[in-house]
Amino acid sequence: MSLRVHVATGLLEGVRQVLSPHHDARPDGVAADLLVIHNISLPPGEFGGPWIEQLFNGHLPPAVHPYFAAIHGMRVSAHVVVRRDGEIVQFVPFHRRAWHAGASQFEGRPACNDFSIGIELEGADDIAFADAQYDVAREVIQALLDAYPTLSPTRLVGHSDIAPGRKTDPGEAFDWARLRA
* pTM for the structure as a whole: 0.97
Catalogue all structural domains in the chain, each as residue range(s) with its CATH number. Answer: 18-47+76-180 (3.40.80.10)
Q: How far is 155 from 100, CA to CA, in rounded Å? A: 17
Tens digits of residue pLDDT in 56-112: 999 999 999 999 999 999 999 999 999 999 999 999 999 999 999 999 999 999 999
In this predicted model, what pLDDT tens digit does every residue of 123-146 receive, in sequence order?
999 999 999 999 999 999 999 999
Q: Could you give the C-alpha distances from 42 to 17, 68, 106, 140, 146, in angstroms and in order? A: 20, 8, 27, 23, 32
Short-list 92, 85, 89, CA closest to 48: 85
Exposed, middle or buried, 126 (CB in 10 Å: 0-12/13-18/19+)?
exposed
- Is 107 among the residues known to form the active site? no
How is residue 115 annotated by DSSP?
G
Annotated catalytic residue within 120, 122, 139, 172:
120
